[in-house]
Amino acid sequence: MKYQDVLKQCHLNPNLAMEVCEILKIRVPSLKPKLSKNYQDLKSKWYLETTTGVRIDYLMQMCKVARSFDELLEVTRNFNHLNHLPDEAYNDLVQRLYRKADTFIRKIAVYELSRDKALDEQVLSELVAIGTLDDWYWVSVIHDSDNDLSDLDWIAPEQIARIIKNG
């Protein structure tokens, strides 16, 4: 069992998951995202800046230097929240994020942020292919407490039923 499995079982409560992992002697990975020095420097400037135009310029620079999934996710969420990036550039950023998404949870993040129907269908197809009973249960639980995944509320019960039926 891994930390991510425990975290899901603890309904994404990191404090509880860390305590359970300690009891079970499961290694807890560093919970700090791995960010490059370049990216961290730009992020610090972005946080300290108060002028909207300059903040957007810093975000654009962050886009250019973002390489890891964590960096791409952070900058994509910031642009999604601010809604200041042209659709084509935003979709390119989400595509880069998608190429780094190597787990069910990361693919969920891409699905949440995508505005491209073709990418949504591709990600959904992958989620169906790799999702386990626990994964889909997690999606259904998160949906009950968080509207971010409301687009997936219709598919979680279908996938749970399919997995149970196929044993």
Residue 80 to residue 152: CA distance in whole angstroms: 19
Does 74 map to a domain?
A: no
Is the pLDDT at 7 greater than 70? The verdict is yes
130 versus 105: which is more confidently predicted? 130
CB 36 within 8 A of CB 68: yes
CB 149 within 8 A of CB 136: no
Q: Can you give the residue range of the structural domain that contains 23?
A: 1-31
CB 102 within 8 A of CB 115: no
pLDDT digits (tens, 9 = 90+) for 145-155: 555 555 677 88
Does 3 map to a domain?
A: yes
Does 17 map to a domain?
A: yes
Does 51 map to a domain?
A: no
Does 136 map to a domain?
A: no
pLDDT digits (tens, 9 = 90+) for 41-68: 999 999 999 998 898 899 889 999 999 9
Q: Retrieve residue 95's tokens.
A: 């595509």
Is the pLDDT at 14 greater than 80? The verdict is no
pLDDT digits (tens, 9 = 90+) for 102-119: 989 889 889 989 999 999
144 versus 120: which is more confidently predicted? 120
Q: Output the DSSP codes for 144-156.
A: HH-GGGGGGTTHH
pLDDT digits (tens, 9 = 90+) for 134-144: 889 888 876 55
* Number of compact structural domains in the chain: 1
Does 26 map to a domain?
A: yes
Q: Give Cα 75 distance to the centre of its chain.
A: 12
pLDDT above 90 covers a percentage of the chain that reads 50
